[in-house]
A and B are shown apart, each in its own frame.
Chain A
Amino acid sequence: MLSKNSGVKDMAQPALQGIKVLDFGWALVGSLTGKHLADNGAKVIRVESSTRIDLSRTNRMVKISSGNNPDDKPWYTHLNTSKLGLVLNLKKPQVKSIIKKLIQWADVINENFTPGTLSKLGIDYNFVKTIKPDIIMLSSSAYGQTGPLAYEWGVDGTGLAMSGYLDQTGWPDRTPVGANAPFGDVVLPYINAMAIIAALDYKRRTGKGQYIDTSIVEVCVHSNTPNLLDYQANNHFRKRNGNRIDYASPHGAFPCKGEDRWCTIAVFNENEWQAFCHVIGNPAWTKDPKFTDMKSRKQNEDELENLISQWTSQYTDYEVMYKMQTAGVPAGVVQTMADIVDGDPQLREREFLLPIKNPELGVFGHPTPAYKLTKTKAKVRHAPSMGEHNEYICINILGLSDEEFAELVGQNVFE
């Protein structure tokens, strides 16, 4: 249970208050890395350009999004909460003076352009450290900054394919499949933000900054380590096997009342098996030696799953879940997005989506950090519109005069 911190004063500030981040991050990995820092109180200046517009600002997955307004894309908003927005055409020479000021201001730089892009623009790590030797700079990409594939294009699916995720996901008799949800693109930002904060602590202790290089593919491969070892040590290739795993049975999604409704059940040990049998009323088949221990259940799993499906089909998915969970059997409804957004009381308790007013889109749920720091709580604000903070950043943060700012406006650098 979460403890009430009686006698311990609440630390009102979010965890990363005072940290300054120059953020060239875009698409998913870069945007989410900056979001972790910004939601937790770091001042994050997101630099972007309409001349090379972010994928999430053109995405029209929902009807409200138009073809030409970069600020009416809720997905962009989800990925970029709590940041300040600066629009800059990095290819214009006049921009260099602003970039230098931003580097001097920043503790951290985050970027995930295709490797080599910042070198072409003249603002790679070698340049940055001449201005700020103790900067912490992080680059992420599909394959990493070095090696024969460094400059290759890659997306989330690249990580799924390269790491073995897809090899392991699906039915044994069918083509592999994958979820309609990113994996490496979401895991890597956790690693990125963690490395940045650990590097800040290292700098506190040693005075030194550093350059960090991360790859979607390399992070994803970690999740497949047991199969890599199994192949090396035992010369064994594990085959993808639907919902079944080698150390639990039953272990699957079972049909329930209603259209396309399912509940998962996972039985890992004898206690859970006994509880499971009790819940379904101890029918005679549960005493059949074909099912009485894990090994026999694994051998007769097709038949076992059919028998269980006959029972689950009489109930709704939530009924099955509550019956099982009440008896101590792990079980969970295969929830749809509707169940999650409109129903799930647990996620609501955690404020997993915080209703925030967006100037273009109205009030809708914005994702909060899933890791809750109980004293230094995250503070999530809406994402910036294109160039929302150009003037504030140039004048109030970088100290430009009104005239200098007006001159830059005249040179069309804010595009």
Chain B
Amino acid sequence: MDMFENLLSGYRALDLTDEKGFFCGKILATLGIEVIKVEPPGGDPARSIPPFLNGEPDINNSLYWLSFNTDKHSITLNLEFKRGRALFRKLVAKCDFLIESFKPGYLDSIGLGYIVLTKINPRIILTSITPFGQKGPYSGFKGSELVVSAMSGIMSTNGDSDRSPLREGPDTIYFESGAAAALGTVMAHYVREKTGEGQQVDVSMQEVAVKRTSSNLLVWEFDKCLIKRAGTIRTIGARSTHWIWECKDGYIFWSFMGGKPGSQGNRAMSKWIDDDGMENPLRVITNWEEFDMAAQDVSKDLLDAQQEAIRQFFLRHTKKEITEEGFKRGLNACAINDPSDILENPQLKARDYWANINSLKTDNPLKYPKYFFLSNQTKNFVKSAAPVVGEYNDVIYRNELKLSAKEITKLESSGVI
């Protein structure tokens, strides 16, 4: 039996997504699936999302686009044209997956709905990633990271209480929806290899995001209590404590927790405050394993005094001191990394986490995250840069669909490809 370098080498996907669905195809490409982005002539509109290489807006310069389309190929094809759709049907016959993020109903409206696709290729798996899902009262709504974050409830728990609710910095919902879609797609593939039959995978970004707020939903469902945004305070049960702190040159993540989970860190914190010669209201606790923040005999004044001492302590130290010395002491604190910290992180370096990718127009390769998981048997890595617009046209139209040079020229001049 032939061995494959990746888990799913030998399969092909057509990727029709915009930024809402980039991650699904990116993940599938690391599994060895040949992922072909189908872009309108002139390129995917998402190629205009900043930041840009050298700050210069250009169709092949979007660092956002380059980030999330690694290892994909690109062809141009105008699905609004009849001739474009005819070519697309030929491609559907030769692929295993189709990923899309159009408004529900759009593919039907251009004669490329799921039923039509199955008639061309009954094995096809159609993965649809949309803000609210394929049917239901909001399915026709427009959505984006911000809008879906709001509708999912995530936003109501993020931000400072005296200002508006906040979105999360990275496009977490696009990312998570892409991962959920990749799981659904691979699962449908597993079924298809047993039954010979494909199916549609319907991913709602809103529902994906809601699944993250499971514990907050329970607090409402059982106790009719609303978890709301509270800045750097994390709301857990009866008592809430800070989990983000300012330090001398940046910020630190450190949860002040009771019971066994917090015991090692709390003990290390108390010791370090002592070693610094500071006043130490943590010292009164002798058995941190039994320290129950919710207990009646732990006063709010004590918790406040302890947190004030911790605040003062962090302000005395740098990110580097707190992480390096802190790991030795068992503090379990973690610096809030900026991009430079991340790229220099010794753990990621030791794991060979970075792939050096030569992108267009850069003298030196740029470091990209290399993998989503490691395997002892297969290499499921990010290997090549995102494609320039239409770099795969020749391979597909000339070599595979056997179109003549004359036909290709005609398609180009009429705006089909």
Contact = CB atoms under 8 A, between A and B. Distances in A.
Contact of A340 (B153, B172, B348): B153
A121 to B, nearest CB: 19
Contacts of B214: 75, 78-79, 367
A214 interface: yes
B175 A187 contact: yes
B383 interface: no
B88 interface: no
B253 A160 contact: yes
A24 B138 CA distance: 39
Nearest to A232: B366
B376 A210 contact: yes
B175 A222 contact: yes
A193 B265 CA distance: 32
Interface stretch (A56-64, A82-90, A94-102, A404-412): A56-64
A226 interface: yes
Contacts of A364: 218, 221-222
Contacts of A193: 183, 187
Contacts, number: 516
29 contacts: A1-B108, A2-B135, A11-B191, A59-B237, A61-B237, A152-B332, A164-B169, A166-B251, A167-B169, A168-B168, A169-B158, A169-B166, A169-B170, A179-B154, A190-B179, A201-B8, A213-B374, A218-B369, A221-B348, A222-B372, A228-B339, A230-B339, A233-B53, A233-B362, A340-B152, A346-B136, A371-B202, A373-B184, A373-B191
Contact of B342 (A164, A200, A330, A344): A164
B281 interface: no
Contact of B199 (A40, A194, A375): A375
A36 B383 CA distance: 29
A236 B51 contact: yes
A172 B53 CA distance: 24
B378 to A, nearest CB: 7
Interface in B260-291: 261, 264-265
Nearest to A325: B141
Interface string A161-191: 1111111111100111111111100110011
Interface in A44-93: 55, 59-64, 74-75, 78-79
Interface stretch (A239-247, A277-285, A392-400): A239-247
Interface in B131-183: 132-144, 146-160, 163-172, 175-176, 179-183
A176 B8 contact: no
A337 B348 contact: no
A195 interface: yes
Nearest to A202: B7
B369 A230 contact: no
Interface residues of A, number: 154
B150 A161 contact: no
B210 A347 contact: yes
Interface residues of chain B: helix, strand, loop or mixed (majority): mixed
A213 B376 CA distance: 9
A162 B48 CA distance: 28
Interface in B380-405: 380
B232 to A, nearest CB: 5
Contact of B114 (A3, A55, A336): A3
Contact of A370 (B207, B335, B374, B378): B207
Contact of B143 (A263, A330, A367, A374): A330
B325 to A, nearest CB: 14
Given A177-B166, A194-B182, A333 B150 contact: yes
A228 B343 contact: yes
Contacts of B156: 334-337
Interface string B218-257: 1111111011111110111100000111100001110100
Contacts of B171: 223
Interface in B87-108: 104-105, 108
Interface in A211-264: 211-215, 217-219, 221-234, 236-238, 240, 242-243, 245-248, 251-255, 260, 262-264
B201 interface: yes
Contacts of B195: 11
B139 to A, nearest CB: 7
Given A171-B163, A198-B7, A332 B143 contact: yes
Nearest to B357: A229
B153 A194 contact: no
B255 A155 contact: yes
A6 to B, nearest CB: 8
A370 B369 contact: no
Contact of A262 (B140, B165, B264): B165
Contacts of B152: 335, 340
Contacts of A6: 115
A307 B158 CA distance: 24
Q: Give the interface centre of B54, B108, B228, B232 by most chain A CB atoms within 10 Å.
A: B232
A222 B216 CA distance: 26
A146 interface: yes
A29 interface: no
Interface string A363-398: 011010111111110000000000000000000000
Contacts of B105: 1
A80 B105 CA distance: 35
B367 interface: yes
Given A168-B168, A202-B377, 8 more contacts: A75-B214, A177-B231, A181-B213, A210-B377, A253-B146, A336-B153, A352-B211, A372-B203
A350 B197 contact: no
A182 B236 CA distance: 13
Contacts of B253: 157-158, 160-161, 166
B66 A229 contact: yes
Contact of A198 (B31, B143, B217): B31
A74 B222 contact: yes
A289 interface: no
Contact of B337 (A11, A75, A161, A353): A161
A222 B369 contact: yes
